[in-house]
Chain A
Amino acid sequence: GENVEQHPSTLSVQEGDSAVIKCTYSDSASNYFPWYKQELGKRPQLIIDIRSNVGEKKDQRIAVTLNKTAKHFSLHITETQPEDSAVYFCAASKGRGNQFYFGTGTSLTVIP
């Protein structure tokens, strides 16, 4: 089955700096890579996703890049703000009807 690894497990940045979280996957058949943000005591919520036919996707301060050859994808948050503080999870899947495999999460702290 698929194996998703996520690094780092914790990350602290100064407000305004950028944050990068990296994930690797093992199954070359995976074609859908979502990122979730989970605030304390809340449910995971999708913040951005990318499909295997795309190399990069941006949504305001958030971007995701995918390298299919190396089987890794990354989340980039620019101009970080205190409200970005949360746990972020990456995942890999073959799409609807299939399993989603999650990384173990990155706890991001943005220091004001």
Chain B
Amino acid sequence: NAGVTQTPKFQVLKTGQSMTLQCAQDMNHNSMYWYRQDPGMGLRLIYYSASEGTTDKGEVPNGYNVSRLNKREFSLRLESAAPSQTSVYFCAGTGGASTDTQYFGPGTRLTVL
């Protein structure tokens, strides 16, 4: 099993550019999450999908959109990137055989100039 995977690992954008962060899992997770991690602020939830076909806002959703393409894939889109979105982004999944345990992907380090 690959677990939770994310692409790309690194990305540099200019202000105003758009991009999509991809996340996929092969652990049969029902729920999937997108977090951002900034120094001294822990992990803050952007959006999550409790189950296939549903998405909900988290603590910091402004400037982002998500798509739960199918049970395996959950993407995060930045329509018009801003320097404040410079961060490390983690995708995570729970449910299925792992019950409540949340497994994280390796992260995407995004810099917006």
Q: A residues touching B (Cβ–Cβ < 8 Å)?
A: 6, 9, 32, 34, 42-46, 49, 51, 89, 91, 93, 95-105
Pairwise interchain contact A98-B107, C-beta atoms closer than 8 A: no
| Cα distance A32–B51 in the bound complex, in angstroms | 19
A43 touches B105 (CB 8 A): yes
- Which A residue sits closest to B94, measured CB to CB? A96
State whether the Cβ of B53 lies closer than 8 Å to any Cβ in chain A. Answer: no
Q: Rank and list the top 8 A-B pairs by shortest CB-CB distance, nearest first.
A: A104-B42, A43-B104, A97-B50, A96-B95, A102-B43, A102-B42, A96-B94, A32-B100
Interface of B is mostly: loop
* 6 additional contacts (CB under 8 A) given A97-B30, A97-B31: A46-B101, A51-B100, A95-B100, A98-B50, A100-B102, A101-B45
| Closest beta carbon of chain B to A46's beta carbon, Å | 6
Indicate whether B74 reaches chain A with its CB closer than 8 angstroms: no
List 15 A-B pairs, Cβ < 8 Å.
A6-B42, A9-B40, A34-B101, A49-B101, A89-B42, A93-B100, A96-B100, A97-B94, A97-B95, A99-B48, A99-B58, A100-B33, A104-B42, A105-B40, A105-B42
A-B contacts, CB under 8 A, total? 57
Let me know if B100 and A104 touch, CB within 8 A. Answer: no
How far apart sit A80 and B33, CA to CA, in the bound complex (Å)? 32
Residue pair B43, A96 in contact (C-beta under 8 Å): no
A93 and B101 CA atoms in complex are apart in Å by: 11
